Amino acid sequence: MTLILEGKTPSKLIREEIKREISEYTAQGLRRPGLAVVLVGNDPASRIYVRNKIKACKEVGMESFFYHLESNVTTEELLDTLAELNAREEVDGILVQLPLPPHIDQNEVIAFINPEKDVDGFHPENMGKLVARMEDGFIPCTPLGIDLLLKHYGIEVKGKDVVIVGEGFIVGRPLSLLMLWRGATVTVCHIHTKDITKFTKEADVLVSATGVPGLIRAEMVKEGAVVIDVGISKVGGRIVGDVDFEAVKEKASAITPVPGGVGPMTVTSLLLNTLKSYRRRMKVHSTSTMKP
């Protein structure tokens, strides 16, 4: 039987724990953790992601501060908003939804966020801490969500061959570092890889994060592999991943569904990172065993 690695159960458990911890803080008269979410423009997918993040904050008792800027906002104006959020006491986390419109320099914007509030983990200081294996940095939410999902289902990656398809800034690159940290032997395939199948066929754990629907077919997967699908695409009104789920399910020992696999874990990781920032800023100690 193939294990379906659905993310709703572990997400629910972790979010209940977050909610319980926050209620302890508010019972002591402390403020709630706060997350600022900045959306530039009206990309439909980004609007949905942002809405889900704000809803998740509310459900666990976090404050959210939503900033919706016009798509023609200047870099200066966006940085002004971020300066305000960097300074604002009740804001523990700042998330600028990506992608940004092409006229805005994404690197400049990310580098401007106070690294202590960078709950996305994209600031060069936090990316550097991921390389240096410094526990006090923020790990980007999708890689952290995959790590927590694997842990929940008791899947150990130490000593395993992990193959990641996609070397993007949000998932592939930081995930490769996190998997190395966890003791895996990591291969990253990308657009210039000559023969992806040569690598995917050998993977004990195969992760695809490309946004190309149906890219991973059954013949590319080793019998008994663990398959993690990070893709989210809309095809004919349906949300699908990178993996041909029905065919690959027959070969894999475990596989994530899309939707309902990695997605909920990513949002849960954002909440965990925001709580981590709050604890540090408020100088309170966790009563829980959760370690983002």
Nearer to ligand GUN, 120 or 147 (CB): 120
For residue 76, the minimal CB distance to ligand GUN (Å) is: 20
Active site residue 151: no
Q: CA angle, 18 as apex, 15 and 21 as ends, to 5°?
A: 150
Q: Give the sheet arrangement for strand 3-4, strand by strand.
A: 3-4, 254-255, 226-229, 205-208, 161-165, 185-189
Window contacting ligand GUN (CB under 6 A); options: 8-16, 26-34, 94-102, 253-261: 94-102
Q: What pairing do the DSSP bridges indicate for beta strands 238-240 and 233-235?
A: antiparallel
Q: Does position 96 bind ligand GUN by CB under 6 A?
A: yes
> Which two tokens mark 201?
């066929």
Q: Binding pattern to ligand GUN, positions 234-273, x when CB under 6 A?
A: ----------------------------------------
The residue annotated as part of the active site, out of 118, 120, 204, 244, is 120
Q: Mark residue 133 as left, alpha or beta (left: phi above 0; alpha: psi -120 to 50; beta: remaining).
A: left
Choices 67-75, 93-101, 191-199, 217-225; region in contact with ligand GUN by CB under 6 A: 93-101
* Residue 54 makes contact with ligand GUN by CB under 6 A: no
- Residue 97 bears catalytic tag: yes
Name the residue nearer to ligand GUN (CB basis): 10 or 121.
121
Query: Are 8 and 146 spatial neighbours (Cβ–Cβ below 8 Å)?
Result: no
Choices 95-103, 209-217, 218-226, 236-244; region in contact with ligand GUN by CB under 6 A? 95-103
Select the span of 1-9, 92-100, 175-183, 214-222 touching ligand GUN (CB under 6 A).
92-100
From 92, 97, 117, 204, the catalytic residue: 97
Size of the site for ligand GUN (CB under 6 A): 8
98, 180, 239, 290: residue in contact with ligand GUN (rule CB under 6 A): 98
Shortest distance (Å) from residue 98 CB to ligand GUN: 4
Using CB under 6 A, pick the residue from 57, 95, 150, 175 that binds ligand GUN: 95
With binding defined as CB under 6 A, does residue 111 bind ligand GUN? no
Q: Write the binding mask 150 to 179 for ligand GUN: x where contact by CB under 6 A, - elsewhere.
A: --------------------x---------
Q: Note the residues at the interface with ligand GUN (CB under 6 A).
A: 95-98, 120, 141-142, 170
Q: Please identify every residue annotated as catalytic.
A: 53, 97, 120
